[in-house]
Amino acid sequence: MAPMQDKSQALQDEYHRRFGERAEYRDAVWKVLCREFFSRYVPESATVLDLGAGWGEFSRNVVARDKYAMDLNPETGRRVAGFARFLQQDCSQPWPLEEASLDVVFTSNFLEHLPSKEAIGATLRECRRCLKPGGTMVCLGPNIRYTGGAYWDFWDHYIPISHVSMAEALELNGLEVRENIARFLPFTMSGNRQTPLFMVRAYLRLPFAWPLFGQQFLVVANKAP
């Protein structure tokens, strides 16, 4: 196999091993997350890119006029079919999108999987290029400050990121941070223990509980108007 095919196959195998038995529950959790929380960042009239879309839970459940899903895993394309246009590519390479064509870029638990800080920087610069003036980037990810050694329980984690370093990376690449929540969601919302969905809804509505249980940051930035 060519290197691209090798990596694509490895991603497919990894996702099936990690998420295969919980796919239905994960989708239900993301339906709640999108409806109850992330919709505040995504107007229904928006054009949105799901960066590192994985199995497409965000792409399928967020409401927006136009949606793109970017990932190296070819299975993503099958899972977002009918919901979003699939872009299979290395996100650190130039995107096949026009400058200032996106209202929102959303990424969840993805940037830490990139192989280097240089790749993250290149990706953020593409985000900035493709966002419209005033457009929004929403970054959700495990916060190395609060996950501790569990951060490295995932073989494909390369870059440790905190809410502080995420904000700095965004600002160094031309985006203006407007919201920085160090502790938002637990490390996983759809792990081996399936939290009842009514508890997920309640958690989102109780910000005072986030510092007690949250191990993921939420950093939101804008492209200058």
CATH of residue 205's domain is: 3.40.50.150
pLDDT at 2 over 70: no
User: Looking at residue 122, what is its pLDDT?
Assistant: 98
Helix (H, G, I), strand (E, B) or coil at 56: coil
Tally of domains in the chain: 1
Strand partners, 51: 70, 107
206 and 41 in contact (C-beta within 8 Å)?
A: no
Interval 26-56: pLDDT, tens:
999 999 999 999 999 999 999 999 999 999 9
What is the Cα–Cα distance from 23 to 32, expressed in whole angstroms?
Answer: 15
Instruction: Name the band, by pLDDT with cuts 50, 70 and 90, for residue 22.
Output: confident
Interval 126-158: pLDDT, tens:
999 999 999 999 999 999 999 999 999 999 999
**Structural tokens at position 171:** 């600002």
User: Looking at residue 193, what is its pLDDT?
Assistant: 73
Percent of the chain with pLDDT over 90: 85
pLDDT at 190 over 60: no
Interval 84-142: pLDDT, tens:
999 999 999 999 999 999 999 999 999 999 999 999 999 999 999 999 999 999 999 99
Instruction: Name the band, by pLDDT with cuts 50, 70 and 90, for residue 194.
Output: confident
pLDDT at 25 over 70: yes
Q: What are phi and psi of 70, to 5 degrees?
A: -115, 130
**Structural tokens at position 60:** 């399928």
Cα-trace Rg, the chain: 16
Instruction: For residue 177, give its domain range.
Output: 3-222
